[in-house]
Amino acid sequence: MTFSISILGSTGSIGKSLIQILKLKKKNIKINLLTCNKNYKQLFNQAKFFNVKNLIITDEKTFSFVIKKKKYSKYNIYNNYDNFNKIFKNKNDYVMSSISGLNGLIPTYNIIKFTKKIAIANKETIICAWNLIQLELKKYKTKFVPVDSEHFSALFAINKHAMSEINKVILTASGGPFLKTPLSKFQSINISDALNHPNWSMGKKISVDSATMMNKVFEIIEAKNIFKIPYDKLSILVQPDSYFHALIKFNNGLTKIVLHKTDMKIPILNTIFESDLLLQKKIIKNYDLDIKKINNPKLENIDFNRFPLTKIINILPNKPSLFETILVAANDEIVRLFLLNRISFNDINKLIFKIIKSKQFFKYKKKPVNKINDILILNTYIKQYINSKIFKKND
């Protein structure tokens, strides 16, 4: 029986990991859609290997260049995500949504009706629009599964347990490249330092988020939404090796710990081919337990002086609000400015706190998320505000 798949963001790190798994699977796979922003060469290599006809290239210049090439004329190439009705004649068995940033929000939301199961690696969708996503999942009877290693590990440990049985959900953080850097040297941190993650090979934006630990703030929000658990039952522990991914403490005194190698193919594999034992052997065959890491997990509490952004968790509203969009948008733009070398690493913390604590934006904690468009409008406004008001004052 043919298993149908679509991948939103197939040339990113998550998409490429899934492609590697599918190449090992080989048989009975039909890919309906692959997408990218600019990396058209890799996209067409993927399309050729799997004989994929439908492609989306969202960057306008890249799309205009590709569409003129005769050698690509056999493909159905689109420039946006408005053509799902043309592309999908039947529901996909599985969709991976791994477009980065809020650019992934609308396609993730719109593709739910066209799939039986969706794996979402797009943090922003779960953080900013989870209440709206849930309504679509329920409406179209689509199964959701998280892809982040921490959330998938927590889900694996919780399994069929009721949330009332759980005392604490603990996510782990590596601490990134600056876990042991003297605080006196933070003033001189440069871009290459921030991108030098000790365990994971990731994109620039997520690497900076790991260095500031804003990624863990986002993951706590995701966990609150996914597991329907209040913030006071969620916490973070630093685990430098990224070998321990989640700890679930139960009310009966027992604690489950989920650990695995730093390879995203493990959680991805288990969201799509969890019962394929032959495929699991191909991918997991060399992943023996690392006894040294188990014997010395080096778990520790967060140093708030080193990672001040983690204090944001204490001011987050338990009910979904537009405040989360402000947090995401502000971080996106401020990290972008850092990567352009226009602000310092320490400025990231200062500017984010300046925005989210201002009366102008703090009030959004009480404003509900009613429409996708509310998120997109606010996202644009925050970025314009930073560049026209905040950033100019720091020039």
- State pLDDT tens for residues 12-29: 999 999 999 999 887 899
Domains of the chain with CATH codes: 3-146 (3.40.50.720), 148-262+286-316 (no CATH), 317-395 (1.10.1740)
Segments in the chain forming alpha helices (H) = 13-25, 40-50, 60-67, 84-87, 105-111, 123-139, 149-158, 191-195, 204-212, 214-227, 265-272, 277-284, 291-295, 323-339, 345-356, 359-362, 372-385, 391-393
pLDDT at 391: 63
Structure-token pair, residue 239: 């685990």
Residues in Cβ contact with 262 at an 8 Å cutoff, skipping those fewer than 6 apart? 199, 200, 241, 242, 243
pLDDT at 274: 82
CA separation for the pair 279, 352 (Å, rounded): 44
Please tell me the chain's helix, strand, coil percentages from 3-state DSSP, rounded to the nearest 5. 55, 15, 30
Structure-token pair, residue 326: 């402000």
| Direct distance between the N- and C-terminal alpha carbons of the chain, in angstroms, rounded to an integer | 61
- Burial class of residue 158, CB neighbours in 10 A (0-12, 13-18, 19+): buried
pLDDT at 98: 95
- State pLDDT tens for residues 175-195: 999 999 999 999 999 999 999
pLDDT at 198: 85
By residue count, the chain amounts to 395
CA separation for the pair 34, 197 (Å, rounded): 28
- State pLDDT tens for residues 78-106: 999 999 999 999 999 999 999 988 999 99
Determine the 3-state secondary structure of 101 from DSSP.
helix
Residues in Cβ contact with 302 at an 8 Å cutoff, skipping those fewer than 6 apart? 173, 213, 236, 237, 238, 310
Dihedral sign computed on CA atoms, order 104, 109, 115, 121:
positive
Helix (H), strand (E) at residue 28:
none
pLDDT at 286: 66
Average pLDDT along the chain, 395 residues, taken 10 residues at a time:
94 94 89 97 97 97 94 94 95 96 94 98 95 97 95 94 95 94 94 89 87 96 96 96 95 95 90 83 78 93 95 94 96 95 95 93 94 96 88 54
